[in-house]
Each structure stands twice: as C-alpha cells, then as structure tokens.
Amino acid sequence: MVTDFLKPTCRISLRQKRTNAAYPEYGLNAPVETALAVKHADGNMTLQLEVLNVTTEKEGNAVTTVVALKDKVYPFFVNVCYRAWQDADVIESWTEISHQEKKPVVLNQFASGYLPIRRGDVWLSHLSGSWANEGVLTQEPLTPGMKVIKNKDGVRNSHTDHAEVMFSLDGRPQENTGNVIGAASVTAATTNSALRHTMMNTTISLPESTKRTLLIP
C-alpha cells in the first residue's frame, strides 16, 4: 500500500503557470512578455484572468474553440479564439475583449495572438526590403532578448518589413526538412511583431495599437 506522502505528485508553481500561459496578462506575477495590459476604471493596472468555460463549434471546414476568461475581481472579460482548418495546417487566432465596469477602461497593450515556443536551437526567417529591393530574406538564430519587426506602410505591407515570420525549431532552416512554425498578421494596417527569447521559451505576440479606450458598454 502506498501512503499519501509517497504518492507521486505534480505541482505547478504560479510562476510556471504564468510562463506557460497561452495569453498572459500584466498583473501580480508577469515574468514573461504579456499579451494584455489594462488600466481599470479605478486606476488599478493588474489583471488575474481565470477560465470561465471552453466552447467548441464546427463551422464548415473549420473548428472554432473559444476560451472564455474573466478577471477574479473586475467584470472584465477576454475571449481567446482559435479556428483550426481541417484541410490545412493552419490555426487562426484572435481575441475579443469586453468589460462591464462603470467607467471606461484603457487598453495599454493587447495582442491579437500569442504563441509560446519551446526553447532550443530556434532560427527566425523574415522578409524585409526597400524600393526596388523588396523581399530580402533574413535568417538568424534567436538569441536572448527581444526582436521587434514593424511595418508602417499599411496596405503596402510588402514594401519594407513583412507581417510574416517563420521559426525553424531544429536549427538552421533547410529547404526540404525540419520542423517549422509560420505566423502572419492578417491586417491592412500597421503591423508589429514582438519576439522575446528567454531561458524558458520563445514567444511571439502580434500587438495591436499601443493604447485604446474601452468605453462603457
């Protein structure tokens, strides 16, 4: 008979939860690059989101999963949405943010997508360029720190830096072999991709405009 204190246990610390979060928010413990940071109506700048429910719905040739989150204290809600296409290795991601606070809430930072990648020999491929020199391929290893790829050309987003990036998970990119993850920001406005490489993992976030105000619903 195995006694209770000899039974194997699996404990996950709060720091581990925040490090591996699918959509981390700025709050009491934020060791990673956050996807969401707000200022509540009373001036508080912390969030602590909890899962309310998870729903799945089939829409034609795709399956949409919505993870509904709510702050523990404030009537502040976030839906993290994923749409997986059945005939392609593509997952679409977006977020829906709302609140029921008595006054407007300021969004200091909010990402439409957030992707954690296990740390390793990860290489980044992306395109940049200038007039008559578009589509220059750059391939480089991800080193600790942050890399930002920004484009301010709006609808002409293929002129300078592109909104697409590609990660080679097992070393320098190869033409016909290797594990690869690609990401693209689907927008006609300014694009801004932030990459953060730490001792734990690599994350990519696709932030929207730097600051907006959520009015009273």
Tens of pLDDT, residue by residue over 5-59, are: 333 334 434 444 455 677 889 987 766 778 899 999 999 999 999 999 999 999 8
Contacts 24+ apart (CB under 8 A), 151-155: 151/190, 151/191, 151/192, 152/190, 154/188, 154/189, 154/190, 155/188
Distance CA 94, CA 64 (A): 11
Distance CA 173, CA 136 (A): 16
Return all residues near 30 (Cβ < 8 A) that are at least 6 apart. Answer: 18, 24
Question: Which domains does the chain show, CATH number per domain?
Answer: 1-114+206-217 (2.70.98.60), 120-197 (no CATH)
- Name which residue leads in pLDDT, 13 or 109: 109
Q: Is the pLDDT of residue 146 over 90?
A: no
**Please, which pLDDT band fits residue 99 given cuts at 50, 70 and 90?**
very high
The mean pLDDT value for 116-125 works out to: 83
Please tell me the predicted confidence (pLDDT) of residue 117.
77
Burial call 165-181: b when 16+ CB within 10 Å, e when fewer: bbbbeeeebeeeeeeee
pTM: 0.74
Residue 152: partners with Cβ closer than 8 Å, 6 or more residues away:
190
> Which of the four pLDDT bands, split at 50, 70 and 90, describes residue 115?
confident
